[in-house]
Structures are given as C-alpha cells and as structure tokens.
C-alpha cells in the first residue's frame, strides 16, 4: 500500500545497498519507539536520532523530516491493520470468517502494541496525516460490510448493522494493545503472561459469535 507513497531519500538512489536498508529500518524502529511513547507533537528528530544511535544529519539523509518518517510508519501500520479485513472470504463460512478476523486482530494487538498506540494517537489528533488512507479504508470496509450484510440477508447470520460489528471488533481487540498497562494492572498475576490474549479470544468468541448466529 502506502510505503511507496512517502519514499525515503535513500530510496531515490538507483540501487539501495544493504547498509542503507538496514539504516532505514533502524531509524523506523527508533521512530516507532519514540512516536508510540510521546505522540507526533511530543517527538523530535533529536529523540529519534538518539534512540537510533545516529546523528541527526544521518537521519535526515534517509528521511526528509519528522513528518516523512511518521507518514511512512502510519502507511505501513495501516497496511498491516487492514490485511485481516482483506482476508474475509465471501465464499467462506460466515462464523468461521468472523471468528478468524477477531483472532487475527487480537494477534496484531499482541504482536504490535507500539504500532497500535501510534495509530491511536494519530486518530485522536483528528488523523491529519491519514485523509487519503481513510478513503481506501472506507472502500475496504464498505466491501466487507456488503459481504456480511449478504450473509445476514440470506439467513446465515442474524440481521444487524455490519459497520458497528466491525467497530466493536476494532474497539475490543485494540484495547489489549492501547491499554495494555491497564489490562495487566487489573488482571494482576494473571495478566503477566500471554494467556490474557487466549482468554480474550475465548470471551470475544462468546460475545460476538454466539450473538451473530442465526436462529
């Protein structure tokens, strides 16, 4: 999707070297850490450079400015976030498809908590750097809503508003990334391992799947 929309400076060279690619990933990893902790406004190129162990001019060789790094990360994150939604198969079993979607979203929350927090921070700020990407998001959601609505109309699922199903899945699964500290604090000892995600998956199956089955 969008990584090609905001190329790094080094990407403009005819042939990128292995070292250039490694440096770009180092900068992006450091930027993810900084942005997920401090948000866009609270983050600086100096912080990114320090976290990456590079000089500020070195960072600016690879990316033109802070905004270019942030947009690159957002594009990559949104592409990953949408992949589970893309995989909903209109020819699959409705319950199995929705159950798999919930599971994949929880796995993203488990494996990419910093990415989730960075994305959430951007949306809370009004998503000023995601206007174009949100057009693509809407098209994909509309497509999948049509699939789910058809399942309802043909009696494979109960009748409900598919948009709000998707919103509810986003809210409940991403909670385990965006509010991970709160989840672990409330769960205490039980929240220290990865078992909290398995417990969440079982509960969300009960919450969503049993309520969607047609009578």
The string of pLDDT tens digits covering residues 106-120 is 999 999 999 999 999
Q: CA–CA separation, 176 vs 182, rounded Å?
A: 9
Judge if 63 and 9 occupy the same domain: yes
CATH of the domain at 57: 1.10.10.60
Q: CA–CA separation, 65 vs 98, rounded Å?
A: 40
Of the pLDDT bands very low, low, confident and very high (cuts 50, 70, 90), residue 1 is: very low
Domain boundary among 19, 35, 69: 69
Judge if 51 and 97 occupy the same domain: no
Q: Both tokens of residue 109?
A: 């929350």
Domain that holds residue 157: 87-212
Judge if 166 and 101 occupy the same domain: yes
Judge if 103 and 200 occupy the same domain: yes
Judge if 98 and 181 occupy the same domain: yes
Q: How far is CA 58 from CA 23, 51, 98, 119, in A?
A: 9, 13, 45, 26
Closest listed residue to residue 147, CA positions, set 105, 97, 184: 97
Judge if 177 and 102 occupy the same domain: yes
Q: Is residue 163 part of a domain?
A: yes
Total number of domains in the chain: 2
Q: Is residue 138 part of a domain?
A: yes
Q: CA–CA separation, 55 vs 23, rounded Å?
A: 12
Q: Is residue 75 part of a domain?
A: no
CB 205 within 8 A of CB 102: yes
Judge if 117 and 188 occupy the same domain: yes
Of the pLDDT bands very low, low, confident and very high (cuts 50, 70, 90), residue 12 is: low
Judge if 56 and 98 occupy the same domain: no
Judge if 19 and 65 occupy the same domain: yes
- pLDDT attached to residue 6: 47
- pLDDT attached to residue 4: 42
Judge if 177 and 130 occupy the same domain: yes
Judge if 16 and 105 occupy the same domain: no
CATH of the domain at 117: 1.10.357.10
Q: Is residue 79 part of a domain?
A: no
Taking only the tens place, the pLDDT of each residue in 143-189 is 999 999 999 999 999 999 999 999 999 999 999 999 988 998 999 88
Q: How far is CA 195 from CA 33, 82, 169, 174, 181, in A?
A: 25, 25, 19, 16, 15
Judge if 10 and 98 occupy the same domain: no
Q: Both tokens of residue 172?
A: 């409940």
Give the DSSP letter of residue 154.
T
- pLDDT attached to residue 194: 77
Q: Is residue 77 part of a domain?
A: no
At residue 5, does pLDDT exceed 90? Answer: no
Taking only the tens place, the pLDDT of each residue in 15-57 is 678 888 999 999 999 999 999 999 899 999 999 999 999 999 9
Domain boundary among 69, 97, 112: 69
Taking only the tens place, the pLDDT of each residue in 46-104 is 999 999 999 999 999 999 999 999 999 999 998 898 999 999 999 999 999 999 999 99
């Amino acid at each position: 999707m969008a990584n090609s929309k905001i190329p790094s400076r080094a990407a403009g060279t005819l042939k990128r070297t292995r070292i250039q690619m490694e440096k770009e990933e180092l900068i992006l990893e450091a930027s993810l850490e900084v942005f997920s902790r401090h948000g866009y406004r609270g983050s600086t190129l100096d912080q990114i450079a320090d976290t990456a162990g590079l000089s500020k001019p070195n960072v600016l060789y690879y990316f033109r400015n802070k905004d270019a790094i942030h947009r690159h990360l957002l594009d990559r994150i949104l592409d990953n976030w949408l992949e589970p939604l893309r995989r909903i198969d209109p020819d699959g079993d409705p319950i199995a498809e929705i159950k798999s979607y919930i599971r994949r979203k929880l796995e993203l929350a488990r494996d990419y908590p910093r990415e989730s927090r960075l994305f959430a921070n951007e949306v809370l700020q009004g998503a000023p750097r995601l206007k174009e990407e949100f057009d693509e998001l809407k098209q994909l959601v509309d497509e999948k809503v049509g699939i789910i609505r058809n399942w309802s109309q043909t009696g494979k699922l109960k009748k409900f508003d598919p948009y709000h199903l998707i919103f509810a899945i986003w809210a409940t699964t991403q909670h385990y990334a965006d509010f991970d500290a709160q989840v672990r604090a409330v769960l205490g000892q039980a929240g220290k391992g990865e078992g909290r995600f398995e417990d969440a998956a079982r509960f969300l199956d009960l919450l969503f799947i049993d309520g969607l089955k047609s009578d």
